Chains A and B, each alone.
Chain A
């Protein structure tokens, strides 16, 4: 077995071209899946017997929350790869992940608050999942803050990679401690989302949206990665060739 395909992934010009070629393969299926999922979720699925039409925000909220964690994990894995094997492109991937993940986290928080208003009667409830999501947003902001604070790209790469790895070790601890904290403090009168098995007509659009969001993340990541590579390699000769061509 040859490893050339793997080693080529460490080369910025190759990755730049590869990302350009792959982007449509993520973007188009993402668009189709999201349109299909929204149609299924907002139009075809029946209203919930308890929440009426209010539950439909789940089709944006749940995929966003799912992505917020997945992007963080992707970022930490890319950062660890960059840290261990000193692959610059991996650091570029990690750097490109952070703003996307922070945006998903923000979207999950906003949709969660909007959902909370009809459900709980208040925009913000110290629900363990919402609280964990808020802490996750701070983790993203810290990561981006550290990157912004360090001027030398290489140092920013490696320092933020350590932070991402430390963060990913802590995410489960934070999540479980917040759940534990909440089980002590939360009044039992607060209405909780019952979790009956979802009807297929509601579940299928949700799964479509999950897949669609994942592919959408892939597409945005590839676009951002190209920008990141361009910025990092701005003095390299292969970029001059592209620009002059």
Chain B
């Protein structure tokens, strides 16, 4: 490891025992599949909590995007309430896109991904665990923060459960779709624009159903149908995205 002076190196060193345990277990073929995935998940969470500053960035970004609209359009709550679903979902989509950069980058730099690929464990499961950790660290906080943003746009508090549910379910799909794009762009310098070009078109169905569910939550309508469609997208993502992302990670390591 070249950068011992950097704070990131210290963080990696602190979490190293856990990672080493994961690698040892994985290499000896003794750890069952789910144990390896659980260890990978725990390691990612532990590393992330040591770099809390990074966790806050997407949330702060989301708050700022929300703030842009009252400033750019009008401070009238009646008008803001009307555009609230679009604002929330465009903000959530962009924030989750921003957070994708953290998904694989550090692990690609320090060789962890290579170790995962060589470990003999199913790379698909390990990537799925990483994506799950990523959702816990970005999607879930976004879902919990979305009501705050919604209330600031004049939405009544009766809509809060519906908003939390739709962002929580939708962000699962966003994290999974994003994992493919993040894996494909591994190793490309300044990949931010490319990552958004790859990920955004694939995320549009999530945006459509999510915004619709949020809109219905705000107007008090029956939001189960779009919510179920969101859940269907999330299930499809859980089924297929880790396979594609693992294939993409392998390609990037070749």
Contacts and interface: CB of A to CB of B under 8 A. Distances in A.
Contacts of A150: 187-188
Contacts of B197: 138, 141-142, 145
Interface of A is mostly: helix
B235 interface: no
A162 B201 CA distance: 15
Contacts of A141: 197
B134 interface: no
B198 A173 contact: no
B123 to A, nearest CB: 14
Closest 8 CB pairs of A and B: A177-B205, A138-B201, A142-B198, A158-B251, A142-B197, A181-B208, A149-B188, A177-B208
Contacts of A180: 208
Nearest to A169: B240
Contacts of B236: 173
A142 B240 contact: no
A146 B185 contact: yes
A135 B201 contact: yes
Contacts of B244: 162, 165-166
B248 A142 contact: no
Contacts of A167: 202
B135 interface: no
A173 B233 contact: yes
A149 B201 contact: no
Nearest to B232: A173
Interface in A154-211: 154-155, 158-159, 162-163, 165-167, 169-170, 173-174, 177-178, 180-181, 184
Given A145-B194, A155-B252, 11 more contacts: A138-B200, A158-B254, A159-B251, A162-B184, A162-B244, A163-B184, A166-B180, A170-B205, A173-B236, A177-B205, A178-B204
B238 interface: no
A139 interface: yes
B201 A174 contact: yes
Contacts of A177: 204-205, 208-209, 229
Nearest to A139: B201
B201 A146 contact: no
B14 interface: no
22 contacts: A135-B201, A141-B197, A142-B194, A142-B197, A142-B201, A145-B194, A146-B184, A155-B251, A155-B252, A158-B251, A159-B252, A162-B180, A162-B247, A162-B251, A163-B180, A163-B184, A166-B202, A166-B244, A167-B202, A174-B205, A178-B204, A184-B212
A158 B248 CA distance: 8
Instruction: Identify which of A138, A149, A174, A177 gathers the most chain B CB atoms within 10 Å of its CB.
Output: A149
Nearest to A163: B184
A243 to B, nearest CB: 31
A181 B188 contact: no
Interface string A73-87: 000000000000000
A146 B187 CA distance: 12
Contacts of A163: 180, 184, 198
Instruction: Identify which of B180, B205, B208 gathers the most chain A CB atoms within 10 Å of its CB.
Output: B205
B242 to A, nearest CB: 12
B37 to A, nearest CB: 22
A215 B248 CA distance: 34
Contact of B208 (A146, A155, A162, A178): A178
A99 to B, nearest CB: 16
Given A162-B184, A174-B205, A145 B198 contact: yes
B131 to A, nearest CB: 15
A155 B198 contact: no
Contacts of A146: 184-185, 194, 198
B191 interface: yes
Contact of A162 (B187, B191, B229, B248): B248
Given A155-B252, A159-B251, A162-B184, A149 B205 contact: no
Interface in B116-165: none
Contacts of A184: 212
Contacts of A135: 201, 204
B205 A173 contact: yes
Contacts of B247: 162
Contacts of A166: 180, 202, 244
Interface string B86-122: 0000000000000000000000000000000000000
A211 B201 CA distance: 30
